[in-house]
Chains A and B, each alone.
Chain A
């Protein structure tokens, strides 16, 4: 057992004297089919012996044209694109997208729908951080942590499935609320999850937090100072590890986050180890939010009563001609938004996820620009790995937590 505070950060000179002239450096291609790139990322490393002199990330291998596809689908149909971008936190993407539309149309969302969204988003955060922990640990050779993390992520997927019918691509939001109310017995299942998680997070920490090899492999590596992190547009746990207290949930509260009592962990060192700690603490904070949301879950409708946006309830269809017309119009051509431009952002497990929506008054977005946290965070990779060993490049890349679906869109 080592106390992480007493392990002195490694002092590797920023650029220790090159062993060989630049012309002799070897170019090593990591990816796009490399086991540790967390997707199809290609990183071109210039190496001098085992020391990296230059790193150049090439993205685009997973480009699917989501942003363009949004322009061809109605607002409701667009929801199914959103969760396929960051496929490890689909509910957060769903919410971010509909928030942009709701902002455009100035819609109010009922409190119960807000609470359900918060619950789903925090579950997704726990699942995403859990998966990150597993894969980052796997990068450094801890096989067991990987299996523990996946076991626990499965509990979240079970909850997703019980609620939305789908384990990953939930698409549970609708403009103005959520698609359906919680099924019977779901809250008990959620309570069981909240109860089982803290000891499991303790287990992860027991395996890693005080492990001397883990500390050696992450402490003082991939350091980003607060200024650098801000300059590169880094957000999320990576930014907070560098000591900048910025979390969209606190800075620009949405979905009623201001009602919940939770702390946002902020670090100081800005190294890989700190990023790991941030995520573990965020998992605990998310569990607190879940407990509060569960205890105070309000009653009421789960979608706005505005019939121009939300489908009428099923029983009305047999009685009211207007409802049938609304239903037909909404299903066949959707609803039209006013002309305008809006930006809505949410805190995804990777950072600030923003949707910039331009509307020309039709039933489809004129332009949809996504600000993906992974893409912006990835930019800092070159800075972080310069002068490090190849083995560290993997640890550092792992600590940024990129999702290629989010990077390439």
Chain B
């Protein structure tokens, strides 16, 4: 590995992290605005034009707030948990190609539109999100609070269960694309987006993805009316903000993966817009669905959620996987 690769990767990582943090900030505003319009109220509109500076104000407030800490906590784990969550959330984005198929050429260097183009590709995503579960579980465990503990138990059970369906729902895509590399997968969608032949898998993936990110209607871990705030009940100030950040970045990542894997990534019809724009538009549309669901659906109950995960989504994903395999093999004969 030469120095150039290291420097370029570091710069790209910095850009992605800054982009994601901005994305997170404006995702909160986007959510509040859209939800407010759905609920017949104006939403934040005091800070800056159209409330555009609201995320900044929220961020500053959280940054300067003192962090109250519960007595009897496990201090090391208590501090590590939010960092672990946010690190895992940020790291998953490394594999996502925001545009392509070419390179950007700067000073004679060809630079890809991704931080890394690992050949394990999407497996990286599964591996790193699994680490994110630790952040949540340790937060609940170390807070020395019953609400946190219950929230963390629910959350980890939910995330582990839905990871199965999440992973399996993507297998048909690997069968069609013949690769784990996200760049290859997007290139394979040059003509047809995979959402067309694999619509059921896309729906399964989105449901599992919403559950995986603990969002409504599967937002049980932080069911505020039942468990106060779930696993992050005892966190305040910037440490709370880190959990919040992790949740929203995870939403962006799930939507980005869906875009790359099912919606043709940077490919747009008619080719009128440059690749990154298509990518952004698709991600925002998927994020809108998140907000839309949150504004309209009640929360599911824990046991029903588990039933849905194990008894419906998992068998359906397996079925979809086998059906795709059979069709592909039959077509090759």
Q: Which residues of A contact B (CB under 8 A)?
A: 26, 28, 34-36, 50, 137-144, 147-148, 151, 207-208, 211, 213-214, 216-217, 389-394
- From B35, B39, B300, A148 is in contact (CB under 8 Å) with B39
- From A211, A216, A391, B223 is in contact (CB under 8 Å) with A391
Query: Least Cβ distance of B236 to chain A in Å?
Result: 16
Asked if B225 and A36 make an inter-chain contact with CB atoms under 8 angstroms apart, the answer reads yes
Could you say which residues of chain B place their CB within 8 Å of the CB of A392?
Answer: 301
Could you say which residues of chain B place their CB within 8 Å of the CB of A147?
Answer: 39-41
Asked if B303 and A389 make an inter-chain contact with CB atoms under 8 angstroms apart, the answer reads yes
Could you say which residues of chain A place their CB within 8 Å of the CB of B228?
Answer: 34-35
Asked if A211 and B40 make an inter-chain contact with CB atoms under 8 angstroms apart, the answer reads no
Asked if A141 and B299 make an inter-chain contact with CB atoms under 8 angstroms apart, the answer reads yes
Asked if A138 and B301 make an inter-chain contact with CB atoms under 8 angstroms apart, the answer reads no
Is B73 engaged at the interface, CB distance under 8 Å to the other chain?
no
| A394 in contact with B300 given A147-B40, A151-B40 (CB within 8 Å) | no
| A35 in contact with B297 given A141-B217, A216-B304 (CB within 8 Å) | no
Can you name 15 A-B residue pairings with CB atoms under 8 Å?
A35-B224, A36-B224, A137-B298, A144-B35, A144-B39, A144-B296, A213-B297, A216-B300, A216-B301, A217-B301, A389-B301, A390-B150, A390-B227, A391-B226, A394-B225
Specify the chain A residue showing the minimal Cβ separation from B301. Answer: A391
Q: Give the number of residues in B that approach A within 8 Å (Cβ atoms).
A: 28
Asked if A143 and B300 make an inter-chain contact with CB atoms under 8 angstroms apart, the answer reads no
| A140 in contact with B39 given A34-B228, A35-B228, A390-B226 (CB within 8 Å) | no
B:288-318 near A, CB below 8 Å? 294-304
| A389 in contact with B39 given A141-B216, A143-B294 (CB within 8 Å) | no
Q: How far is the CA of A217 from the CA of B297 in the complex (A)?
A: 12
Could you say which residues of chain A place their CB within 8 Å of the CB of B38?
Answer: 144
Could you say which residues of chain B place their CB within 8 Å of the CB of A36?
Answer: 224-226
Could you say which residues of chain B place their CB within 8 Å of the CB of A137?
Answer: 298
Is B146 engaged at the interface, CB distance under 8 Å to the other chain?
yes
Q: How far is the CA of A148 from the CA of B295 in the complex (A)?
A: 12
Asked if B226 and A213 make an inter-chain contact with CB atoms under 8 angstroms apart, the answer reads no
Q: How far is the CA of A391 from the CA of B226 in the complex (A)?
A: 6
Could you say which residues of chain A place their CB within 8 Å of the CB of B302?
Answer: 50, 389, 391
Query: Least Cβ distance of B290 to chain A in Å?
Result: 14
B:203-228 near A, CB below 8 Å? 216-217, 219-220, 223-228
Could you say which residues of chain A place their CB within 8 Å of the CB of B227?
Answer: 390
Could you say which residues of chain B place their CB within 8 Å of the CB of A143?
Answer: 35, 39, 294-295
Query: Least Cβ distance of B166 to chain A in Å?
Result: 21
Q: Which residues of B contact A (CB under 8 A)?
A: 35, 38-41, 146, 150, 216-217, 219-220, 223-228, 294-304
Asked if B298 and A142 make an inter-chain contact with CB atoms under 8 angstroms apart, the answer reads yes
Asked if A26 and B146 make an inter-chain contact with CB atoms under 8 angstroms apart, the answer reads yes
Q: How far is the CA of A142 from the CA of B300 in the complex (A)?
A: 11
Query: Least Cβ distance of A303 to chain B in Å?
Result: 40
Query: Least Cβ distance of A275 to chain B in Å?
Result: 16
| A211 in contact with B150 given A139-B225, A143-B39 (CB within 8 Å) | no
Specify the chain B residue showing the minimal Cβ separation from A216. Answer: B304
Query: Least Cβ distance of B155 to chain A in Å?
Result: 13
Main secondary structure of the interface of A (DSSP, over half): helix
Query: Least Cβ distance of A17 to chain B in Å?
Result: 16
Could you say which residues of chain A place their CB within 8 Å of the CB of B223?
Answer: 141, 391
Asked if A35 and B225 make an inter-chain contact with CB atoms under 8 angstroms apart, the answer reads yes
Could you say which residues of chain B place their CB within 8 Å of the CB of A389?
Answer: 301-303
Could you say which residues of chain B place their CB within 8 Å of the CB of A140?
Answer: 225, 298-299
Query: Least Cβ distance of B296 to chain A in Å?
Result: 6
| A142 in contact with B225 given A147-B41, A148-B39, A148-B40 (CB within 8 Å) | no
Q: How far is the CA of A94 from the CA of B298 in the complex (A)?
A: 36
Asked if B39 and A141 make an inter-chain contact with CB atoms under 8 angstroms apart, the answer reads no
| A144 in contact with B226 given A50-B150, A151-B40, A216-B304 (CB within 8 Å) | no
Could you say which residues of chain A place their CB within 8 Å of the CB of B41?
Answer: 147
Asked if B40 and A394 make an inter-chain contact with CB atoms under 8 angstroms apart, the answer reads no
- Candidate in B146, B150, B216, B225 with the most chain A CB atoms within 10 angstroms: B225
Other A-B pairs, 15, CB within 8 Å; known A34-B228, A217-B298: A26-B146, A35-B228, A36-B226, A139-B225, A140-B225, A140-B298, A143-B35, A147-B39, A213-B300, A216-B301, A389-B302, A390-B226, A390-B227, A393-B226, A394-B226
Query: Least Cβ distance of A189 to chain B in Å?
Result: 20
Asked if A141 and B301 make an inter-chain contact with CB atoms under 8 angstroms apart, the answer reads no
Asked if A138 and B40 make an inter-chain contact with CB atoms under 8 angstroms apart, the answer reads no
Could you say which residues of chain B place their CB within 8 Å of the CB of A217?
Answer: 298-301
Query: Least Cβ distance of A293 to chain B in Å?
Result: 29
Could you say which residues of chain A place their CB within 8 Å of the CB of B216?
Answer: 141
Q: How far is the CA of A217 from the CA of B41 in the complex (A)?
A: 27
Q: How far is the CA of A217 from the CA of B220 in the complex (A)?
A: 13
- Candidate in A137, A141, A142, A207 with the most chain B CB atoms within 10 angstroms: A141
Query: Least Cβ distance of A142 to chain B in Å?
Result: 5
Q: How far is the CA of A137 from the CA of B150 in the complex (A)?
A: 22
Specify the chain A residue showing the minimal Cβ separation from B294. Answer: A143
- Candidate in B35, B40, B220, B298 with the most chain A CB atoms within 10 angstroms: B298
6 cross-chain pairs, A with B, having the tightest CB-CB distances, nearest first? A141-B299, A36-B225, A147-B39, A140-B298, A139-B225, A213-B298
- Candidate in A34, A35, A216, A391 with the most chain B CB atoms within 10 angstroms: A391
Could you say which residues of chain A place their CB within 8 Å of the CB of B303?
Answer: 389
Could you say which residues of chain A place their CB within 8 Å of the CB of B39?
Answer: 143-144, 147-148
Specify the chain A residue showing the minimal Cβ separation from B38. Answer: A144
Q: How far is the CA of A80 from the CA of B228 in the complex (A)?
A: 35
Asked if A144 and B295 make an inter-chain contact with CB atoms under 8 angstroms apart, the answer reads yes
Q: How far is the CA of A137 from the CA of B299 in the complex (A)?
A: 10
Q: How far is the CA of A50 from the CA of B40 in the complex (A)?
A: 36
Asked if A214 and B298 make an inter-chain contact with CB atoms under 8 angstroms apart, the answer reads yes
Specify the chain B residue showing the minimal Cβ separation from A388. Answer: B301
Query: Least Cβ distance of B244 to chain A in Å?
Result: 17
